Amino acid sequence: MTGRIRSAADLFGTATFRLALGSSVLLAGVALLQFSLIYWRTTQYEVERADRLLDREAALMAAQDPADLREQMRLWATNDLRLLITAAGLFDADRRPIAGNLRDWPEALPVDGAIREITVHPLDQGVRTIRAEALPVPGGRVLVIGRGLRDLQQIRSITLDAIETAAIPALLFSLLAGAWLSRRNLVRVGRMQLAIDRIMEGGLHERLPVRRGGDEMARLAGSVNRMLERLERLLDEIKGVGDDIAHDLRTPLARVRAGLERAVLHPMPADGLRAAIDRAVADLDQCFSVITALLRIGEIENGRRQGGFSVVALREVAAEVVELYEPLAEAAGNRLLLDHGPAGSLRGDRDLLVELLANLVDNAIKFTPAGGTIRVAVLVRDQEPVLRVADTGIGIAPSEREAVLGRFYRSDKSRHVGGSGLGLSLSSAIARLHGARVVVSGADAGSGAVFEIVFRNETMP
């Protein structure tokens, strides 16, 4: 694949070119319509003018006596009235010509004073189309007067000229512009394809070329680049999680190995041996708890449990968790309080919501020094049910707020605290399953941490 254009079919097959072609055809159609309209209206005007003129002259003539009429015919033939009446003929009762430039009786013209379009061959001109009328005049004779539509023919040729000199070049220009634009786009698309090929070959750091100016293709390329960035970050995260798992499993496993090896190599009394084995079992249990928690997170994130949702009263969940954890808080020298708010309820999985809150409370108790207070509250804010756990512990620095919900995260301060390190990750996975968001705040170091689970309003039954 290259950035070059392979064939004319490529060039003319692009959307840009088709668009240009389409708009050119449309443009030509509109121009044609416009000129036709102009032509038609002018013709109409010209015909009306001729007809009015003929009517006026005919009315005048009908009243003339024969001598005057003949004189009039001569005048028409010589002076500028010729501009008005271009064909005239005076015929006797037997339709023989008496005077004027019309020598042949026009058969197509009934003698009724109505104006018709006929073709004649006047003496001093070629064959032409005229508006004419025949009317009886005194003495049993018939007068034919007519006005040629020469102007009309001129208008027609002007119109055609205009189309030739304006519309056709415009059409050509727009087709050429279309071809040029389409070539330009093809080149750009070609470059993007090259970049995509490189990405597909594993160059995830590669990005699509984005031209300055921000046209729609640049915007698209920008979106694709943002998507690539997100994917790259996700992949890094997955890799990071893999590393974390490896690390969190390796440490206890290494301890197990070292402990057992020492027990084998160095003779020790039975209770020493027993203690070594107990430590090994405890370390293995730690590994299992990490694996179990990871599997649970996976299971919850797959969202398969939504089928089991029912109406859950948040206050009951909170009361249950507080009752369960109160002795634990007390043992740690802290107070665990439940603030009664309005009863928020929502559709959810009760067991999972208990687990969610339990993990938050557990976490709060762990990170609150003796003498502190942990408050659990159920409230409704902006019609959204909220579960809130606030403590007076070491708090979470703003830079760490996002990370605490990630897998395995423990701030350096907490490395010595037990647990799988996945409690908050589990809580955050459960929150996501319920369409809720987790807000970590109030967390300038030292002033305690506040975790809020904000449920969606529409989950209210």
Partner 1 sequence: MLLVEDDAGIAQEVSAELSGRGFSVVHAATGPDGLDHAMSGAFDVLVLDRLLPGLDGLAVLERLRAEGVRTPVLVLSALSAVDDRVRGLKAGGDDYLAKPFAMEELAARLEALLRRPPETRETVLRAGPVEMDLITRQARRAGRSLELLPREFRLLEYMVRRPNQVLTRDMLLEDVWHYRFIPQTNLVDVHIGKLRRKLDPPDETPLIQSIRGAGFLLRVEE
181 closest CA partner among 193, 171, 173: 173
423 binds partner 1 (CB under 8 A): yes
With CB under 8 A as the rule, give the number of residues binding partner 1: 30
The CB-of-184 to partner 1 minimum distance in angstroms stands at 56
Question: 232 vs 320, which CB is nearer to partner 1?
Answer: 320
By CB under 8 A, which span of 109-117, 224-232, 247-255, 288-296 interacts with partner 1?
A: 288-296
Least Å distance between CB 324 and partner 1? 6
The helix-helix angle for 216-265 and 168-200 (nearest 10°) equals 0
Please pick, from the candidates 138, 235, 288, 306, the single residue that binds partner 1 as defined by CB under 8 A. 288
420 makes contact with partner 1 (CB under 8 A): yes
Applying CB under 8 A, the span of 63-71, 243-251, 299-307, 386-394 interacting with partner 1 comes to 299-307
Q: Strands 450-454 and 437-441, how do they pair?
A: antiparallel
One residue of 419, 435, 439, 441 binding partner 1 per CB under 8 A = 419
Tokens describing residue 449: 């941490």
List the structure tokens of 75: 């005048």
Closest approach of partner 1 to the CB of residue 423, in Å: 5
16 touching partner 1, by CB under 8 A: no
Q: How far is the CB of 376 from partner 1 (least distance, A)?
A: 16
Decide if 117 contacts 130 (C-beta within 8 A). yes
Encoded one letter per residue, x for contact with partner 1 by CB under 8 A and - for no contact, window 321-360 reads --xxx-xx--x-------------------x--xx--xx-
Stretch that binds partner 1, among 128-136, 215-223, 334-342, 412-420 (CB under 8 A): 412-420
Residue 201, burial from CB neighbour count under 10 angstroms (0-12, 13-18, 19+)? exposed
Which residue has 């037997």 as its token pair? 94
> Which of these, 203, 412, 460, 213, lies nearest to 312 by C-alpha position?
460
Residue ranges in 336-422 assigned as alpha helix (H): 350-366
Looking at 70, 141, 156, 305, which residue binds partner 1 (CB under 8 A)? 305
| Interaxial angle between packed helices 423-433 and 270-301, expressed in degrees from 0 to 180 and rounded to the nearest 10 | 20
Tokens 């209210």 belong to which residue?
460
The nearest distance, CB 458 to partner 1, in angstroms, is 25
CB burial class (10 A; 0-12, 13-18, 19+) of residue 458? exposed
Q: Where are the beta strands (DSSP E) in 228-278?
A: none
**Residue whose C-alpha is closest to residue 132's, from 143, 117, 119:** 117
Pick between residue 24 and residue 363 the one whose CB is nearest to partner 1: 363
CA distance linking residue 380 with residue 383, whole number of Å: 6
Q: Which span (2-10, 154-162, 245-253, 300-308) binds partner 1, by CB under 8 A?
A: 300-308
Q: Examine residue 395 and tell whether it contacts partner 1 (CB under 8 A).
A: no
Question: Does 362 contact partner 1 by CB under 8 A?
Answer: yes
Using CB under 8 A as the criterion, which residues of the chain lie in contact with partner 1 when the complex forms? Answer: 278, 281, 288-289, 292, 295-296, 299, 304-305, 308, 323-325, 327-328, 331, 351, 354-355, 358-359, 362-363, 365-366, 418-420, 423
